[in-house]
Amino acid sequence: MEETLRQITFDEVDIQRAKRMTFNELANEWLEVYDATGKKKSSIRVRQKEINVLNRYMAKQPLSDINYRFYQSVINNIAKDYARNTSLGINNCANMIFKYAVKANLLKDNPARDIVVPKKAKKVEEIKQDNISEKFLTTEELDEFLDTVDAAGLELDKEIFYTLAFSGMRTGELLALKMSDLDFEERTIDISKNMYNENNNMRDYELTPPKTEGSIRLIDMEPEIMDLLQNLVHENKKNRFKYRYWYDDYHDEDFLFCHKNGYPQVPRFSGSRMKRLIQLTGIQKKRRLTFSDTHISVCLQKLKLI
């Protein structure tokens, strides 16, 4: 009897429960707790994807069988199939799950503590592809891109891409802009929110805080850009008067970049528009471009720092 009790509560670990519970069950339990802390939906979605990867290797593994050596073999296999940054993120997720298991008396030790995430030996071609210049446009490339916007841009292309290029704001920040965020007398734009839309459904959006607290800022803009946006505001007001009676669910929320029914544009909209325009240029960029990086690059080049 004493021996049985000792096994059940050895070092305060519930051995019997650890034998019954699988990693997948533990991960789901932890994710509920993680969600309850008020994390952003985007963070929850990332953690769920990382758990999905972990489940491919140990979903049905009983917790009692997961130790440092076993988990090291798991992370070794993950590192073979995924980029290092992705593997590090997956390991970080597993670390949080196992910490929870220790606190819940399901594991004596955290199997992910002091784990080694292997590095892949890169080829010269891969190193070149990873060059940070792939992520932004140079001054010359930006000029070519904007010339293409002028010549072949569709409705809203000029307003979107000129604003992104000259402000350095993120796409989510741009799409979250409301007409009240623009001060045409002071020529400023107030950045205080981000557009989150997981399904790219215009009716299913959420306004969240920007990426960091430091991302809340007031941007001084060039007069030409503010004139461009002021014309867009006037056009939106005309559309509001015209279409609010056409649509039963007209969304009167003051969005700057919106559909005729007032709902905001979705992130996929600007992404597909940019892909179309890039294909009309001679720009050879394989990675997804970000205008926040482009803005920084152009400013530095103007200062002759790079």
**Spatial CA neighbour of 221 closest among 163, 179, 299:** 163
Question: What fold is seen in the domain 12-121?
Answer: DNA polymerase; domain 1 (1.10.150)
Question: Alpha-carbon distance 112 to 43, whole Å?
Answer: 21
Architecture of the CATH domain 132-302: Orthogonal Bundle (1.10)
Task: Kindly report the backbone phi and psi dihedral angles of residue 297, in degrees, each rounded to the nearest multiple of 5, phi listed first.
Answer: -60, -45
List phi, psi (to 5°) of 245.
-95, -10
Question: Is the distance from CB of 177 to CB of 255 less than 8 angstroms?
Answer: yes
* Per-residue pLDDT, 123: 58
Q: What pLDDT does 235 receive?
A: 93
Phi/psi of residue 261, nearest 5 degrees: -90, 10
Can you read off the two tokens belonging to residue 201? 């459904």
214: amino acid identity, one letter:
G
Cα torsion angle, 269, 270, 273, 279, sign: negative
Measured from the Cβ of residue 224, the count of other Cβ atoms closer than 10 Å reads 10
pLDDT of residue 86: 85
The pLDDT score that the predictor gives to residue 4 is 43
Which stretches of the chain score pLDDT less than 70?
A: 1-11, 40, 121-136, 285-306
Q: What is the pLDDT of residue 7?
A: 44
Q: Tokens standing for 26? A: 């533990």
Arithmetic mean of pLDDT over the chain: 84
Residue 189 token pair: 């734009």
Residues 6+ away with beta carbon under 8 Å from 246:
260
Question: In this structure, is the dihedral angle defined by the CA atoms of residues 72, 78, 83 and 87, taken in order, positive or negative?
Answer: negative
pLDDT digits (tens, 9 = 90+) for 83-117: 887 888 899 999 999 999 999 999 999 999 999 99
The residues spanned by each domain of the chain are: 12-121, 132-302
Contact (Cβ atoms closer than 8 angstroms) between residue 280 and residue 152:
yes
Distance of alpha carbon 261 from alpha carbon 250, whole angstroms: 5
Residue 212's pLDDT is: 75
Contact assessment for residue 299 and residue 292, using Cβ atoms and an 8 Å cutoff: no
Q: What is the pLDDT of residues 126-166, one digit of tens each?
A: 555 445 455 667 777 788 888 899 999 999 999 999 999 88
* Helical (H) or strand (E) element with 130: none
What is the reported pLDDT for 279?
87
**Distance (Å, whole) CA 76 – CA 71:** 8
Look at residue 124 in the predicted model and tell me its pLDDT.
Answer: 52
